[in-house]
Amino acid sequence: MSKPLIAVSTSRDNQFTAGPRDFVRSVYVEALDQAGALAVLLPNHPTAEEALAYCHGLLLTGGGDYDPALYGHEPQGTNMASVNPQRDHTEQRLINAALSRNMPIFGICRGMQGLAVAGGGTLVQDVEEQLGIPRERHAQKAGRTAQTHRVRLEDASALARLVGQLDIRVNSFHHQVVDTLPHGYRLAARSDDGLVEAFEDPSHPFVVGVQWHPEDLAATDSAAQMLFQGFVEAARVYQVSSQSVRGDGSEGL
């Protein structure tokens, strides 16, 4: 069987001299490759969701802030200069389309926040302004592979069973965080200062959001590796089931 194809959301740069460009950091592709999957990078375009018909999982990557209007709030700490409507709307359509297909979804940092917004949840727009938690606790100055704080996984969570640990060290590059969870989701992890660090949707085979960046740790950290391996394994199961439904033996692109 061919490797599962993972649709990967991309960042949008509207200031590029030759015109808008969509891009992703290569560590996402490398982490998927290490776990046994192929990345399919999706543009921020209304037709992007059509590619899901050929894919077996959706990876939502990190990036700038979501427009608070999408979850019914006024700006209160959001970096509005980082908000990109094309990306916001593309990813929300991708999430809804993937959920309707029962496709595995892995949301990382902004990707987790996008899952929350799509499911009716809300965000804390700035942990320092709104919660009094110093930004540097979660927007670390250290390098991307430095594991600067602890995350405690919920005992009964699928995430804890997947990782095989209840306490892990993670990296952290965010100033926003999920406030209210989306409908039907359950908490999977918190930081020592009480922030939501992970959630999961128990009604789907694999819909997980994490607030840290395991793609930067996957080369050496076992917990990060298990996250990507679990996601890719779920995509492989989806690949087999989708081929069975089609009954034609085709494997996508």
DSSP state of 78: -
Task: Give the C-alpha separation, 248 to 38, whole Å.
Answer: 21
| CA angle (78, 212, 92) in 5-degree steps | 55
Choosing from 56, 174, 175, 213, the catalytic residue is 213
Count of Cβ atoms closer than 10 Å to residue 129 Cβ: 13
Asked if 133 and 193 count as a contact pair (C-beta separation under 8 A), the reply is: yes
Question: Which residues pair with residue 169 across a beta bridge?
Answer: 150
DSSP state of 181: P
Is 154 labeled as catalytic in the residue annotation?
A: no
Task: Give the C-alpha separation, 91 to 86, whole Å.
Answer: 9
178-197: b (≥16 Cβ within 10 Å) or e: bbebbeebebbbbbeeebbb
The beta-strand segments (E) located in the chain are 5-8, 11-13, 21-23, 38-41, 57-60, 105-108, 123-124, 149-153, 167-170, 177-178, 186-191, 196-200, 207-210
**What Rg value do the Cα atoms of the chain yield, rounded?**
17
Task: Give the C-alpha separation, 39 to 59, whole Å.
Answer: 9
Is 213 labeled as catalytic in the residue annotation?
A: yes
Is 215 labeled as catalytic in the residue annotation?
A: yes
Choosing from 55, 56, 91, 109, the catalytic residue is 109
Choosing from 49, 91, 200, 215, the catalytic residue is 215
Catalytic annotation, residues: 109, 213, 215
